């Protein structure tokens, strides 16, 4: 009778030790979710400065794959906790993160009806464990995963108490088009500019390139649909304002969310 009583106590204490079965799946990609986006390094009417070798005009076309997600850590954080993986004894683990870390999210799971991205993090005192981060960037503070097994956390210490993570779609410039005007300096009274168009994933394969020369005493530079007002030009720098670019599309023509995340 005494042995049965002791067994019941052990089972009660270990009720929270059992692993929770998680259905961890790779993030699925739908090629039809792709959307074209644009970005440029200038704004019409804004004064800019470029040194020799720097871009005066840089315009890029890319795409956003809505179902390809990335994560960035918005805070430094330290997560300390106890967990039990039977038949191993309970252990203390420490997981840290560095502000600015960025990673590609490749796995997803559900827990209590909520969707979570699975983010692997190494630990000095435990095996590599997976953090569960929601679509809104909130960390699950009660559970970590190891493969398809979830483990309840005890004695959790999290600093800061609510670190934030941003989950977003990242623009991809592969197979897109880039147009660029590079300041070459001033030589013999002429402003030299190198213009090129190329595929963003293959700089060597330029579809168009030209060496341009303009009178350094002139007030404007015009090439194709681009019109630039020159405020100052020397062999050290050029100060200018883009007056017109022929209506090249930019991220301003897409949603505000894509503008914030573009390139």
Report the pLDDT value the prediction gives residue 30, as an integer from 0 to 100. 64
243, 225 contact by CB (below 8 A): no
The pLDDT, as a whole number, for residue 195 is 94
For 116-173, what is each residue's pLDDT tens digit? 999 999 887 888 899 999 989 999 999 999 989 999 999 999 999 999 999 887 666 6
CA distance 214 to 186: 9
Instruction: Give the helix/strand (H/E) hosting 157.
Output: strand 154-159
- Asked whether residue 6 is domain-assigned, the answer is no
| Same domain? 80 vs 165 | yes
Work out the number of other CB atoms within 10 angstroms of the CB of residue 259: 15
pTM reported for the whole predicted model = 0.56
Same-domain check for residues 191 and 223: yes
Q: Identify the weakest region by mean pLDDT among 33-37, 149-153, 243-247, 251-255.
A: 251-255
Q: Which residues of 153-181 are buried (b: 16+ CB within 10 A; e: fewer)?
A: beeeebeeeebebebbbbbbbeebebbbb
Do both 164 and 179 map to the same domain?
no
Q: Is residue 1 part of a domain?
A: no
Which residues are registered as beta bridge partners of 77? 97
Which of 138, 170, 202 is the last residue in one of the domains?
Answer: 170
Asked if residue 96 lies in contact with residue 80, where contact means CB atoms within 8 angstroms, the answer is no
76: DSSP letter: -
In a domain, 203, yes or no: yes
Q: Is the pLDDT of residue 73 over 90?
A: yes
Planar angle of CA 113, 119, 120, nearest 5 degrees: 130
Residue 77 belongs to what domain range? 20-26+68-170
* 74 domain residue, yes or no: yes
Our count of domains for the chain comes to 2
């Amino acid at each position: 009778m005494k042995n049965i009583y002791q067994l019941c106590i052990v089972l009660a204490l270990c009720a929270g030790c059992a692993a929770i079965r998680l259905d961890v799946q790779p993030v699925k990609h739908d090629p039809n979710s792709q959307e074209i986006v644009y970005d440029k390094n200038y704004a019409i009417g804004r004064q800019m400065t470029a040194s020799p070798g720097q871009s005066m005009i840089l315009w890029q076309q890319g795409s956003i794959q809505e179902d390809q997600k990335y994560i960035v850590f918005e805070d430094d954080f330290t997560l300390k906790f106890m967990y039990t993986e039977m038949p191993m004894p309970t252990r203390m683990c420490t997981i840290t993160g560095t502000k600015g870390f960025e990673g590609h999210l490749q796995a997803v799971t559900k827990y209590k009806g909520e969707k979570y991205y699975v983010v692997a993090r190494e630990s000095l005192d435990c095996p590599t464990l997976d953090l569960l981060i929601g679509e809104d960037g909130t960390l699950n503070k009660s559970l970590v995963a190891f493969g398809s097994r979830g483990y309840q956390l005890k004695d959790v210490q999290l600093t800061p108490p609510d670190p934030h993570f941003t989950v977003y779609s990242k623009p991809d410039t592969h197979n897109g088009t880039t147009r660029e005007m590079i300041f070459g300096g001033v030589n013999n009274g002429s402003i030299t500019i190198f213009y090129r168009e190329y595929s963003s994933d293959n700089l060597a394969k330029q579809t168009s390139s030209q060496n341009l020369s303009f009178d350094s005493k002139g007030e404007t530079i015009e090439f194709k649909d681009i019109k630039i007002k020159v405020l100052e030009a020397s062999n050290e720098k050029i100060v200018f304002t883009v007056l017109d670019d022929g209506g090249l599309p930019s991220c301003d023509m897409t949603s505000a969310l894509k503008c914030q995340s573009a390139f």
